[in-house]
Amino acid sequence: MRRCVRLPGQPCKPLHGNRSCTRSVGYGLLCLLAIAAGCGTAGDESPGGALSAGTTDATGVAADPAVPIVLTDVTAEAGIRFTHNTGAFGEKYLPETLGAGAIWLDANGDGRQDLLLVNSTDWPGRGAGTPPALYRNDGGWSFTDVTRGSGLDDPIYGIGGAAADYDNDGHVDLYLTALGPNRLYKGAGDGTFDDVTSVAGVGDPGFSTSALWFDHDRDGHLDLFVANYVEWTAETDLFCTLDGETKSYCTPESYSGQSATLYRNRGDGTFEDVTAASGVGTPSAKALGVVMLDTDADGWMDLFVANDTQPNQLFRNRGDGTFEDIAVTAAVAFSETGVARAGMGADAADYDDSGLPGLVIGNFSNEMLALYHNEGNGLFIDEAPRSPLGRATLLTLTFGCFFFDADLDGQLDIFAANGHVADDVGRVQTRVSHAQRPQLFRNLGGGRFEEVTGSGGGLATPLVGRGAAYADADGDGDLDVVVTANGGAPRLLRNDTAGQGVLRVELVGTAANRDGIGARVEVTAAGETRWRRVRTGSSYASQSELPVSFGLGGAARVDAVRVVWPGGGVDEAGPLEANRRITIEEGAGIVDAGPIER
């Protein structure tokens, strides 16, 4: 049974089309489902509830207790004092539900990962405006707000962004997405930035969400992909309601979609819009997340785009400047029941040591995370519906999500930042809340994941989670996490998991782009070879650090390191002791190295 509320002058329609009660309740909650008896197959699990470490999963295999994962909330200790401003003043504008992202970047070139927190702002005529916040990493878990004077203190209605050295001058640059126009800031290398949007020609005027830098044509210059959402303005905002009287946030299905934009880097500081010529133009798309991957291991970077209530897209790079959307034939466009889900964030990595990248996708509540295994024959299979991972995420609404090795055992775990878009969702779904706690899923091997609550308090408290990203913020080798909150304060989580071995690799391209984005880094230790991709973007509206980390478990040494650069060149190094950081320059091998104190 379902009840729908009509929009003035519009027919009654449920948010996600004619789907059954076991599927999504709907983004804007225009279609209310009778849930007295409960929907889906969540059993007795509460939102975010799951098995704990040391129990047995659905396959009957005992979970590996391994090293307890400890994520400690150090937000206040680190000096992060930031509150995301949605600009909300009671009108329930759709953009207020989406922000905001977080970006790790070395803004001043001192080797430490600084933190950029994207901010939205007051609506016109409602206030003075709120800029993003740039926090300089001073070491020792001390961060200083250096926004003023950085060149980033101009308020925009920001959503997310991506950082990379697009002009190969050795300094990181920053692109911020917004409810148009977007901004491109050229970095000076000292923590300051200049707005070069107009000169570069990348001020996308749309409703932009996530973005990434990648070299789609392998000419050594980073191109820019911008994910766009829907056609919305305050003047065209619709009235949507739960009770026929009070306004609620509308579904994105109430608005037309917007095509993503692909900008080709000319190499002279300017960009060319090649959206139509490249084949990525899709006016019906409603993109929230994007991740780069080489789905078929042909050396050309492909793109996966997570769309909200529209089919996902998988753009295969043909190698001639054009892309082909193969999402339907690859089986990642729809759910296993053939329905377009409300996709939020996404990430790609070889999570099961198959040699090929799989996908994790954050979806709406009652849709669960998607975990796609790459079969290697052009087909992906979603393993979540028949796993503890799926059951544990059925009721959560996941925005930011990513693969990372939380315990440095060599296997990639999954982090999910959760939070609903409707602040009044509890009125119609008693088992779903606005604020939801983040989740961490330990990789048990063989494609199996199990939720662990961790200790240190970092995962215990609910928040309206949005962006999420990781970095080795304190230089001790393990990966720390930042989670942003819509309309609230972010959470900085220090990884205090007991030390295991690690190797950190940073790249400097010469023929390839200077950051080595798109390079494949392989590490062999204890008879096993694992690989990581140097990437920007991923998760939701956020970006993790560019250096790649390899957890070595108890291995005392690395036998070999191999880097395959975007142009096909190869550098090799090793053997090396564990707990080292190295910098590899294209064509020169290791040019810098040092110990990591674990």
Asked if residue 456 has pLDDT above 80, the reply is no
Asked if residue 2 has pLDDT above 80, the reply is no
Asked if residue 391 has pLDDT above 90, the reply is yes
Structure tokens at 408: 């440095």
CB contact at 8 A, 452 and 467: no
pLDDT digits (tens, 9 = 90+) for 477-491: 999 999 999 999 999
Amino acid in the structure at residue 441: F
Across the chain, what does the average pLDDT equal? 89
Opening angle at CA 361, ends 103 and 477, nearest 5: 45
pLDDT digits (tens, 9 = 90+) for 530-570: 999 999 999 999 999 999 999 999 999 999 999 999 999 99
Asked if residue 30 has pLDDT above 60, the reply is no
The residue that leads in pLDDT, 392 or 64, is 392
pLDDT digits (tens, 9 = 90+) for 414-449: 999 999 999 988 888 889 999 999 999 999 998 899
Residues sharing a CB contact under 8 Å with residue 388, sequence separation 6 or more, in sequence order: 50, 51, 57, 58, 448, 449, 450, 451
Opening angle at CA 57, ends 388 and 338, nearest 5: 30
Structure tokens at 249: 């946030």
Residue 330 and residue 501: Cα distance in Å, rounded?
37
- Count the residues in the chain: 598
CB contact at 8 A, 561 and 503: yes
Asked if residue 10 has pLDDT above 80, the reply is no
Asked if residue 53 has pLDDT above 80, the reply is no
Any idea which residue has 């107009």 for tokens?
198
pLDDT on residue 66 = 65
Any idea which residue has 């980390």 for tokens?
549
Nearest to 464 by CA among 249, 270, 253, 300: 249
pLDDT digits (tens, 9 = 90+) for 115-172: 999 999 999 999 989 999 999 999 999 999 999 999 999 999 999 999 999 999 999 9
Q: Rounded to a whole number, what is the distance in angstroms from the first to the last CA of the chain? A: 57
pLDDT on residue 426 = 83
Residues paired with 553 in a beta bridge: 501
- For residue 183, name the pLDDT band (cuts at 50, 70, 90): very high
pLDDT on residue 382 = 97
- For residue 26, name the pLDDT band (cuts at 50, 70, 90): very low
Query: Within a 10 A sphere around the Cβ of 110, how many other Cβ atoms?
Result: 14
Amino acid in the structure at residue 195: D
Structure tokens at 399: 């925005």
E strand segments, 245-301 = 247-248, 261-265, 271-273, 287-293
Nearest to 490 by CA among 74, 26, 25, 55: 74
Any idea which residue has 């994105």 for tokens?
252
Structure tokens at 226: 């911008």
Query: How much of the chain, in percent, has pLDDT values that exceed 90?
Result: 83
- For residue 503, name the pLDDT band (cuts at 50, 70, 90): very high
Query: Reduced to 3 states, what is the DSSP secondary structure of residue 37?
Result: coil
pLDDT digits (tens, 9 = 90+) for 230-251: 999 999 999 998 777 889 899 8
pLDDT on residue 19 = 30
pLDDT on residue 24 = 33
Cα→Cα distances 155→163, 208, 229, Å = 18, 16, 21
Residues sharing a CB contact under 8 Å with residue 36, sequence separation 6 or more, in sequence order: none
- For residue 464, name the pLDDT band (cuts at 50, 70, 90): very high
Q: Which helix (H) or strand (E) holds 314?
A: strand 313-317
pLDDT on residue 313 = 98
Asked if residue 224 has pLDDT above 70, the reply is yes
Residues paired with 62 in a beta bridge: 56
pLDDT digits (tens, 9 = 90+) for 285-306: 999 999 999 999 999 999 999 9
Residue 412 and residue 250: Cα distance in Å, rounded?
36
pLDDT digits (tens, 9 = 90+) for 528-537: 999 999 999 9
Asked if residue 60 has pLDDT above 60, the reply is no
Q: Tell which phi-psi region holds residue 185, choosing left (phi > 0), alpha (psi between -120 and 50) or beta.
A: beta
Q: Tell which phi-psi region holds residue 151, choosing left (phi > 0), alpha (psi between -120 and 50) or beta.
A: left
Q: What does the pLDDT average to over 41-46?
A: 35
Residue 448 and residue 367: Cα distance in Å, rounded?
19
Q: Which strands form 560-564's sheet, in the order they lie side by side?
A: 528-533, 520-525, 560-564, 570-573
- For residue 65, name the pLDDT band (cuts at 50, 70, 90): low
E strand segments, 447-588 = 448-452, 465-471, 480-485, 491-495, 501-508, 520-525, 528-533, 548-553, 557-558, 560-564, 570-573, 576-577, 580-585
Q: What are phi and psi of 389, to 5 degrees?
A: -60, -45
Residue 26 and residue 162: Cα distance in Å, rounded?
29
Nearest to 488 by CA among 69, 96, 153, 13: 96
Residue 138 and residue 113: Cα distance in Å, rounded?
9
Query: Reduced to 3 states, what is the DSSP secondary structure of residue 370?
Result: strand
Query: How much of the chain, in percent, has pLDDT values that exceed 70?
Result: 89
Strands 302-307 and 346-349: unpaired
CB contact at 8 A, 117 and 490: yes
Residue 206 and residue 587: Cα distance in Å, rounded?
41
pLDDT on residue 424 = 86
Query: Reduced to 3 states, what is the DSSP secondary structure of residue 415?
Result: strand
pLDDT on residue 457 = 83
Residue 521 and residue 410: Cα distance in Å, rounded?
14
